[in-house]
């Protein structure tokens, strides 16, 4: 206990040195992130703000580069038994948490165990894990009941939920409760004393972090930090004010360029506007636990009403930045198809109205949660409400900030008691392009990791077959069946795909393509 206290004190001192202030002529990067930050546990929620916060202070065993290849990050080496059941890993030497404690195999095992209870892909992997154990101070082993082909893909997944590594004492927090201590081993240290939800979050350079030697690529490679502080301005939520602040040089980076300001910002000489190589998919999620969407027939009527073009036109508007896509998996990727999507892709309002009349819908209002402070998704609920009303639904559209929505969507209470029936969101393409990692597809009822809690044993069985099938042609066929079953049970409504521009001042260099997540290493401020 005394040693641990000393390590924490040492970590505090290290942060204090970096925080020493103007006398050291600190270089500060000021960022307006895409929404407010309120939840600091990136395992408890899939919210991308919490994920981005995680990338600042935690590190990962493996990571994904821009060619979608899995690369080692905290891991130095690994080997697999001939029967593909036993995976042994050794960590890089010198890994250290911010409180001065070394990163150990026990920390890794505890972190993976908690992640596996919250994440769709982590949960899929844990279904095949017989045991995980530390085999030494800097090593650990995963033993499988039967071989599966996505072990490294799961450990290196780049987006929510990311298997971030935390100290064992923190990782042992029950998965249904949020952590209360924020100690990682990543490139930045979180300054908890300066954190004010709705105002700012501050991160300082971790002076002891040792980057990998490979060049940075997406979430992989060397995480070199060239600034002393990163300040997330959480208070500036007005879209026009954000754009004005960027143009005037009051902020350095704007994570989300409002679509209506895209063309004007591109003409600003002091600003550089970026368009990611790959984008995101919009979706609306049904709550399967409570009326009216506890009935598949009613969910299918809603799905039939949700033509994608009205959502994309209203929310994005810039034709070059969006496209309809009938697939629940990313269009243009190996598992994408239109198989089974006719209920939505070939439907119309008359079909939706007929389905609703036949469903036995009794007029129960649909409570839709609408975020007011995220420019990329704030119009989706309004379009959904309009289309549902045209189909014959009663709708109760309730407005709130995104972080309130994030907290509320985790509640399983009936809508009249503070629950909900539907919310709309966006997923980064790597989060949804396979039947394993697509968070909207697990269907284990109240035990389902992601909010909405569908129950469909057939869908679960098809997903399990996909996980263990080694033949790629058969996996593609299974992916088609999975998608058809998901449309049949109406797990959710895919609403098309888009790319989200972001911008920075002209003197900001080294920004890594944010097709996966906004990360703040490799950036220089001239």
Q: Tokens at residue 194, please?
A: 């300066």
Residue 287 CA to residue 452 CA, distance in Å, equals 4
- Asked if 501 and 261 touch (Cβ cutoff 8 Å), the reply is no
**340: CATH:** 3.10.105.10
Q: Tokens at residue 441, please?
A: 């597809």
Position 316 in a domain: yes
C-alpha separations of 116 from 44, 305, 329, 392 in Å = 11, 35, 22, 40
Residue in the structure block whose two tokens are 């890794």 = 108
C-alpha separations of 484 from 159, 477, 507 in Å = 25, 11, 49
Total domains present in the chain: 1
22-49 burial string, b = 16+ CB within 10 Å, else e? eeeeeeebbbbbbbbbbbbbbbbbbbbb
Could you tell me whether strands 253-254 and 28-32 are parallel, antiparallel, or unpaired per DSSP bridges? Answer: parallel
Burial, 20: exposed, middle or buried (Cβ in 10 Å; 0-12, 13-18, 19+)? exposed
Position 450 in a domain: yes
Nearest-CA neighbor of 169 among 99, 119, 116?
99
pLDDT at 162: 98
DSSP string, 332-364: TSTT---TT-HHHHT--HHHHHHHHHHHT----
Position 323 in a domain: yes
pLDDT at 301: 98
Nearest-CA neighbor of 236 among 224, 244, 227, 226?
244
* Average pLDDT of span 256-278: 95
User: With 90 as the cut, is the pLDDT of residue 510 above it?
Assistant: yes
Q: For residue 5, what pLDDT band results from cuts at 50, 70 and 90?
A: very low
Position 521 in a domain: no
Position 295 in a domain: yes
Q: For residue 25, what pLDDT band results from cuts at 50, 70 and 90?
A: low
User: With 90 as the cut, is the pLDDT of residue 9 above it?
Assistant: no
Q: Tokens at residue 322, please?
A: 């969006």
Could you tell me whether strands 70-72 and 322-323 are parallel, antiparallel, or unpaired per DSSP bridges? Answer: unpaired
Position 405 in a domain: yes
Residue 29 DSSP class: E
Residue 474's contacts (CB-CB under 8 Å, 6 or more residues apart) are none
User: With 90 as the cut, is the pLDDT of residue 3 above it?
Assistant: no
User: With 90 as the cut, is the pLDDT of residue 22 above it?
Assistant: no
* Average pLDDT of span 212-231: 97
Summarised one tens digit per residue, pLDDT across range 310-352 is 999 999 999 999 999 999 999 999 999 999 999 999 999 999 9
User: With 70 as the cut, is the pLDDT of residue 20 above it?
Assistant: no
Summarised one tens digit per residue, pLDDT across range 374-433 is 999 999 999 999 999 999 999 999 999 999 999 999 999 999 999 999 999 999 988 999
Summarised one tens digit per residue, pLDDT across range 62-89 is 999 998 899 999 999 999 999 999 999 9
The alpha carbon torsion through 142, 148, 152, 153 (nearest 10 deg) reads -140
Range of the domain at 478: 280-498
Position 472 in a domain: yes
Percent of the chain with pLDDT over 70: 95
Position 482 in a domain: yes
* Average pLDDT of span 49-53: 97
């Amino acid at each position: 206990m005394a040693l641990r206290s000393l390590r924490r004190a040492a970590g505090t001192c290290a942060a204090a040195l970096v925080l020493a202030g103007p006398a050291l002529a600190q270089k500060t990067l000021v960022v307006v992130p895409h929404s407010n930050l309120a939840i600091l546990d990136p395992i408890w929620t899939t919210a991308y703000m919490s994920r981005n916060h995680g990338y600042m202070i935690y590190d990962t065993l493996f990571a994904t580069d821009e060619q979608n290849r899995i690369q080692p990050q905290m891991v130095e080496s690994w080997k697999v038994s001939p029967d593909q059941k036993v995976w042994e890993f050794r960590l890089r030497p010198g890994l250290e948490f911010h409180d001065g404690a070394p990163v150990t195999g026990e920390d890794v095992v505890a972190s993976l165990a908690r992640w596996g209870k919250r994440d769709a892909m982590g949960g899929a992997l844990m279904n095949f894990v017989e045991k995980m154990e530390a085999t030494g101070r800097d090593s650990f082993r995963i033993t499988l009941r039967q071989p599966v082909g996505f072990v490294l893909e799961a450990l290196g997944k780049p987006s929510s939920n990311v298997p971030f590594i935390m100290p064992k004492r923190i990782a042992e927090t029950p998965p249904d409760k949020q952590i209360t201590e924020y100690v990682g081993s990543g490139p930045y240290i979180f300054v908890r004393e300066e954190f004010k939800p709705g105002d700012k979050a501050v991160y300082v350079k971790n002076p002891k972090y040792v980057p990998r030697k490979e060049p940075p690529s997406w979430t992989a490679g060397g995480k070199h930090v060239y600034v002393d502080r990163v300040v997330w301005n959480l208070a500036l939520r007005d879209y026009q004010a954000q754009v004005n602040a960027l143009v005037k040089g009051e902020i350095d980076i704007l994570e989300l360029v409002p679509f209506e300001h895209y063309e004007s910002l591109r003409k600003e000489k002091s600003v550089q506007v970026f368009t990611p190589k790959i984008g995101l998919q919009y979706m609306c999620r049904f709550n399967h636990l409570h009326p009216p969407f506890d009935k598949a027939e009613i969910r299918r009527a809603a799905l039939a009403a949700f033509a994608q073009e009205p959502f994309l036109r209203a929310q994005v508007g810039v034709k070059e930045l969006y496209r309809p896509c009938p697939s629940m998996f990313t269009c243009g990727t190996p598992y994408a198809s239109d198989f089974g999507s006719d209920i939505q892709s070939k439907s119309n309002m008359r079909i939706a109205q007929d389905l609703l009349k036949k469903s036995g819908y009794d007029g129960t209002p649909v409570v839709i949660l609408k975020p007011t402070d995220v420019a990329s998704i704030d119009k989706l609920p309004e379009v959904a409400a309009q289309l549902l009303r045209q189909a014959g639904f009663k709708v109760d559209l309730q407005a709130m900030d995104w972080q309130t929505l994030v907290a509320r969507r985790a509640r399983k209470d009936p809508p009249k008691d503070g629950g909900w029936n539907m919310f709309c969101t966006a997923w980064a393409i790597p989060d949804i392009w396979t039947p394993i990692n697509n968070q909207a597809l697990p269907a284990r009822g109240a035990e389902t990791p992601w909010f909405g809690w569908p129950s469909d044993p057939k869908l679960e069985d098809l997903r399990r077959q996909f996980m263990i099938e080694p033949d790629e042609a058969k996996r593609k066929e299974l992916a088609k069946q999975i998608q058809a079953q998901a449309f049949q049970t109406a797990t959710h409504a895919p609403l098309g795909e888009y790319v989200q521009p972001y911008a920075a001042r002209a003197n900001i260099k080294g920004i890594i393509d944010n097709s996966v997540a906004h990360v703040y290493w490799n950036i220089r401020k001239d």
